[in-house]
Structure 1
Amino acid sequence: MHVVQRKSQTLDFLSGSVCDSNLLNFWMQKINPLWSTRQILGQICQKEYITADTVSLKIRCSKRMNFGIAGQHHPVIVEIDGRRLERTYSLTQLDEQHVKLTLKKVPDGRVSTWLCETSKIGDVIEFGQPYGEMLPQNYDDKQLILLAAGSGITPMYSMLYALAKSGELANYQIHLLYWVKYEDQAAFVDIFEQWATTYSQFTFDVFYTQSETATASRLNEEHAQEIENLDHKVVFACGPSGFVQLAQQVFQDAKFFESEAFSLSPSENTEVGTVQVTLTRSNRTIEIPKGQSILDALENANEKPISGCRMGICNKCSCHKVTGTTKNIATQSENSEPGSSLRICVSSAKSDLVLDL
Structure 2
Amino acid sequence: MTTLTAFASLQDSRLSDVQTWSAFGTSWSSAEQKILECCAIQVETDDVKTFVFRCPDFAALAFEPGQFITLSLTLDGLSLSRCYTLSSTPTRPFNFAITVKRVPGGPVSNWLHDHLQVGSRLLAAGPAGIFTPVGHPQRKLLYLSAGSGVTPLMAMTRAAFDLGGDPDLAFVHSARTPQDIIFRAELAQLQAARRHLKVFAICEASGAETDWQGPLGRLDLALLERLVPDFREREVFTCGPQGYMDAVQRTLREGGFDLSHYHQESFAIGSPTAPVDAAPATVGETLFTVTLARSGKVFKMAGDQTVLSAAKRAGAIVPSSCGQGLCGTCKTALLEGQVEMQHAGGIRQREIDRGLRLLCCSKPTSDLVLDL
For 2:250 and 2:77, how far apart are their aligned partners in 1?
43
How much does 1:65 deviate?
6.8
Counterpart in the other structure of 1:348: none
For 2:134 and 2:112, how far apart are their aligned partners in 1?
31
How much does 1:259 deviate?
0.3
Q: Note if 1:54 corresponds to 2:48.
A: yes
Q: Note if 1:186 corresponds to 2:181.
A: yes
For 1:282 and 1:184, how far apart are their aligned partners in 2?
54
Greater relative contact order, per chain length (Cα 8 Å cut-off, separation 6+): 2
How much does 1:229 deviate?
3.2
Counterpart in the other structure of 1:247: 248
Letter aligned with residue 57 of structure 1: F
Q: How does 1:89-108 map to 2 (within 5 A)?
A: 89-91=84-86, 92-93=88-89, 95-108=92-105
Letter aligned with residue 194 of structure 1: Q
Please state whether the residue corresponding to 1:234 is helix, strand or coil. strand
Counterpart in the other structure of 2:320: 308
Please state whether the residue corresponding to 1:225 is helix, strand or coil. helix
How much does 1:279 deviate?
4.8
Q: 1:198 aligns with which of 190, 193, 201?
A: 193
Q: 1:164 aligns with which of 161, 165, 172?
A: 161
Q: How does 1:1-357 map to 2 (within 5 A)?
A: 39-62=33-56, 66-91=61-86, 92-93=88-89, 95-168=92-165, 170=166, 172-212=167-207, 213=210, 216-226=216-226, 227-252=228-253, 253-254=257-258, 256-263=261-268, 279-281=278-280, 308-310=320-322, 313-315=326-328, 341=342
Q: In the alignment, is the contact (CA less than 8 A) between 1:244 and 1:261 conserved in 2?
A: no
Q: In the alignment, is the contact (CA less than 8 A) between 2:61 and 2:94 conserved in 1?
A: no
Letter aligned with residue 221 of structure 2: E
Give the TM-score normalised by the residue count of structure 2: 0.61
| Alignment root-mean-square deviation, CA | 3.4
How much does 1:59 deviate?
0.9
Letter aligned with residue 69 of structure 1: E
Change (3 A) 1:311 1:231: farther
Q: In the alignment, is the contact (CA less than 8 A) between 2:42 and 2:49 conserved in 1?
A: yes
Counterpart in the other structure of 2:306: none
Letter aligned with residue 97 of structure 2: K
How much does 1:340 deviate?
7.9
Residues 167-224 of structure 1 deviation map (CA, whole Å, 9 limit, x = unaligned): 12x1x10011101112221111111111111111101111111333467121212233
Q: In the alignment, is the contact (CA less than 8 A) between 1:62 and 1:97 conserved in 2?
A: no
Counterpart in the other structure of 1:346: none
Please state whether the residue corresponding to 2:126 is helix, strand or coil. coil
Please state whether the residue corresponding to 1:128 is helix, strand or coil. strand
Q: Which has the larger radius of gyration?
A: 1
Counterpart in the other structure of 1:7: none
Higher mean C-alpha displacement, 225-234 vs 196-205: 225-234
Higher mean C-alpha displacement, 135-144 vs 198-207: 135-144
Counterpart in the other structure of 1:335: none
Please state whether the residue corresponding to 2:62 is helix, strand or coil. coil
How much does 1:281 deviate?
3.1
Change (3 A) 1:310 1:111: farther
Moved over 6 A (4+): 304-307
Q: In the alignment, is the contact (CA less than 8 A) between 1:53 and 1:104 conserved in 2?
A: yes
Gaps of 5+ in 2: 1-31, 283-308, 332-339, 345-361, 365-372
Gaps of 5+ in 1: 1-37, 267-276, 284-297, 319-338, 344-354
How much does 1:78 deviate?
2.2
